[in-house]
Amino acid sequence: MADRTTLLDGATGTNLWAMAAARGIPHLPVWQYNLTHRSLVRELAGQFAAAGSEILSANTFCANRPSVLQHPGFTVPGVVSAAVALAKAACGAARVALDVAPLPKPPADKAERLEAAAVYDQQIGAGVDAGADLIFLETFWEPTLLAVAAERAAQYELPLLCSMTFEKNRATFGGVTPEHMVKLLLPYHPAAVGLNCSCGPTDSLPVLREFARITDLPLIYKPNAGEHTPDSFAAAMLPALELAQYVGGCCGTTPADIAALKQAMD
């Protein structure tokens, strides 16, 4: 097993939408639930903490200005600070990561790059002010936005985790390889790099192995659920425990999956 493997959580969005549907709550951008259905967000965070997650992602993935401005009555600082507070209330001994997503499109020129930087400054600054313990840039697919977000996150003295979403060809949709990603991020001193989303744990494993081949940085492995049961998900994740220092799940993974992974790690 990799030295000191840390258990992350599973999916936020797919679980919150499933919980909302089961209770007759409207299907909304999940960041809205931080203010409209706080108990839902706190309950999911508590389930992941109980399953053994040592780092919980706050419900802030798309809580940025381009998204929030489409819904009057909400502000980025209000949404982000509520998300961090809800995760903190449920986390127990776990740490809380500010979860940061790519913007809808990469900047095409200097002006758009400055605007993207301002968007990330607002979201990350609000999360840090609210008491986030780490910053997690995840599901990025092209290099420009990742560099902008990492540069803004690096202003703060918090561990920075960075992951991109890779296809089966070991490159992102934007053509970024693990080696390209690592070189891009080195100036920002990430605490860990790796992958999340896209594929299930079996199909994503070659990408993780490529990361292990080209860097000594701690590695993140947070694949989608794939076709699985909790036990089969945990079994498929076992080879990653030899390589990754941070493991968890992305879309479709539930607290039961994380609990099974915790049992397999133990």
pLDDT tens digits for 211-228? Answer: 999 999 999 999 999 889
Whether the predicted model's global pTM rises above the 0.75 cut: yes
On whether the CB atoms of residues 221 and 240 are closer than 8 A, the answer is yes
- Neighbour count for residue 246 (Cβ, 10 Å): 24
Angstrom CA distances, 10 to 13, 137, 154, 197, stand at: 10, 15, 25, 11
- How confident is the prediction for the chain on average, in pLDDT? 96
Residue ranges per domain, the chain? 6-265
- Kindly tell me if the per-residue pLDDT of 3 is higher than 90: no
Q: How far is CA 205 from the centre of its chain?
A: 18
CATH of the domain spanning 6-265: 3.20.20.330
Q: Please identify which residue in the block is written with the tokens 């998204």.
A: 67
Contacts with 96 (C-beta within 8 Å, 6 or more apart), sequence order: 55, 56, 57, 58, 84, 87, 88, 131, 132, 133, 134
Angstrom distance (rounded) from CA 138 to CA 56:
13
- Return the pLDDT at 227: 85
Angstrom distance (rounded) from CA 100 to CA 230:
27
